Chains A and B, each alone.
Chain A
Amino acid sequence: KQEVTQIPAALSVPEGENLVLNCSFTDSAIYNLQWFRQDPGKGLTSLLLIQSSQREQTSGRLNASLDKSSGRSTLYIAASQPGDSATYLCAVILLNSGNTPLVFGKGTRLSVIA
């Protein structure tokens, strides 16, 4: 059974800092990995999608990397802003999952202090 772990569970940083959020998964045979952002009481907003053949994706101040062999992904946020405060979730689809959907971690709750 695929398990997804996100460390740390919560993180508080001052504005302007660069930071890294970690995601690990137990089964390295993944189809792709997706990072999401969730604001309190809201739905999920897709940030980055990394296909299994890719090693990283970038969007603005965000960079996500993928190392399938070690079962890890990182989300790098540059020059953090108070508006980045949210919960960040990573999720994977298994390679041989058929119809099995995204499996999520519990998320990292980020607070950026002005």
Chain B
Amino acid sequence: DTGVSQNPRHKITKRGQNVTFRCDPISEHNRLYWYRQTLGQGPEFLTYFQNEAQLEKSRLLSDRFSAERPKGSFSTLEIQRTEQGDSAMYLCASSRDRGSGYTFGSGTRLTVV
């Protein structure tokens, strides 16, 4: 088990383009979370999956954001019509259950120019 894997590590895109990030959680973890982190801030929750069901979405997740977790395995986070304000580190985490602690991936750094 190699932990939580995120791809790509870095993404530079022009404003208005669509981007998609991928997260592969630890295989036996059925809970998967997406967070966003800007410079000098702690991570902020975006959305949560239990198996393939998306059970929670933050108000930060505007209509331009969509996340999926087909078959309850890997997850994708898509941002449509990117804006400069979307520039941030996007972090994925997984956990086995609520009390067992979270394992985070290395993140995807998005820069919108």
Contacts and interface: CB of A to CB of B under 8 A. Distances in A.
B2 interface: no
Q: Interface of chain A, helix or strand or loop or mixed?
A: strand
A22 B105 CA distance: 25
A45 B106 CA distance: 9
Given A42-B107, A43-B107, A44-B91, A31 B98 contact: yes
Interface of A: 4, 31-32, 34, 36, 41-46, 49, 51, 89, 91, 93, 99-107
Nearest to B100: A49
A43 to B, nearest CB: 4
Given A31-B98, A32-B101, A93-B98, A101 B45 contact: yes
22 contacts: A4-B42, A31-B98, A31-B99, A41-B89, A42-B106, A43-B6, A43-B104, A43-B105, A43-B106, A44-B43, A45-B104, A46-B101, A99-B48, A100-B45, A101-B45, A101-B48, A102-B93, A104-B42, A104-B43, A106-B40, A106-B41, A107-B42
A91 B44 CA distance: 11
B107 A34 contact: no
Given A91-B42, A101-B48, 12 more contacts: A31-B99, A32-B99, A34-B101, A43-B4, A44-B91, A46-B104, A89-B43, A100-B45, A100-B56, A101-B45, A103-B45, A106-B41
A44 B33 contact: no
Interface of B: 4, 6, 33, 35, 40-45, 48, 50, 55-56, 89, 91, 93, 98-107, 109
A99 B100 CA distance: 14
Nearest to A41: B109
B101 A49 contact: yes
Contacts of B104: 36, 43-46
- Pick from A4, A43, A102, A106 the residue with the most CB of B within 10 Å: A43
